[in-house]
Chain A
Amino acid sequence: MTNADIDRAWAIFTARTILGIVFLIAGAYKVFLWGPLEHARVLFVVPYAQTFLPVWALWATGAVVPIIELLTGALVLVGLWTRPSLFVLGGILVFVTFGHLLLQSSTSINPFILPRSALLLVVVLMPHEADRFSLDWILSRRRSLNRGPA
């Protein structure tokens, strides 16, 4: 492993763990302290009641999003199933962007969505084998060692 590999691993680790912490904490707060249904009511159902969005969809997404944030945030934090988790989180960011812009000005996405998207892109655009401080990397290395020389 070269010094450049170590530096790149640290860069990915920094972006990935901060992203994981941010989503894990948000999810933990909404699921355990707030409750998914109360989260759905306060942030989805009540504000969007006058829009064209169906109420059942507001309840469903409002209750599920915090759980997804919690699970994918934890996975991204430790670097397990990182890529699928990042794609799910990317979908959530796009979904939340739509929700914000439906009711608020275009600048409303600046404090929450853009910084998280930037961190997510840093990790996604790096080769996954460069993320050496992750469980994915440890597991893939163990698999290749068990497989032995070809």
Chain B
Amino acid sequence: MTSGRASTAERAWAIAIPRTILGFVYLFAGIHKIVDVGPIAYGHAMAMSDGARFLPASLLTAVGAGVPFLELALGLLVLVGLWTRPALRVLAALVVLIAAGYGISGLLHPMGPTAMGSAVVNTFILPRAALIIVILLLPAEDDRLSIDGLLASLHSHPPRRS
């Protein structure tokens, strides 16, 4: 019979894997939008989306131009594990907003019997949401392979003065 709980190192790995994958996803999403598309062009594309039926185009352009930098910053923070939990909460809000946006878009341009195309829901929204949910449900103190974890261990074991 083995003990009922994974070791500290195993738990640290279990949380580092989804965190770094999620971090890379958002980091590269931001980089691609900045380098390949361009933030202004991305903002203009957003202003020409279905959102323009409900919100001013100038607002959508500004938000669209800011999203790539937000994704890049949040992705980087999650990747290295700095301010991880606040960054994850922002990403959670972002993914819910995106789901709502795709939902409204699905009503305007239905894709299949559920209106929201399963390709969008299953390949874009749900994998990101799943990673965010998993990390948020794991104890923050187990995330030792992160800058947050390093800082926490330094605070709990301050270096001795000679």
Which residues from chain A sit less than 8 Å from chain B, CB to CB? 3-4, 6-8, 10-11, 13-15, 17-18, 21-22, 24-26, 28-30, 33, 39, 43, 111-112, 115, 118-119, 122
Contact = CB atoms under 8 A, between A and B. Distances in A.
A33 B107 contact: yes
A18 B95 contact: yes
| Interface size band for B | 20 to 34
B18 interface: no
Given A17-B96, A21-B103, A115-B121, A28 B115 contact: yes
A7 B114 contact: no
A4 B143 CA distance: 13
Contacts, number: 89
A30 B113 contact: yes
A88 to B, nearest CB: 17
A29 B121 contact: no
Contacts of A25: 103-104, 106-107, 114-116
Given A3-B140, A14-B132, A21-B100, A111 B115 contact: no
Contacts of B129: 14-15, 18, 119
Interface stretch (B30-38, B73-81, B84-92): B84-92
B9 interface: no
Nearest to B100: A21
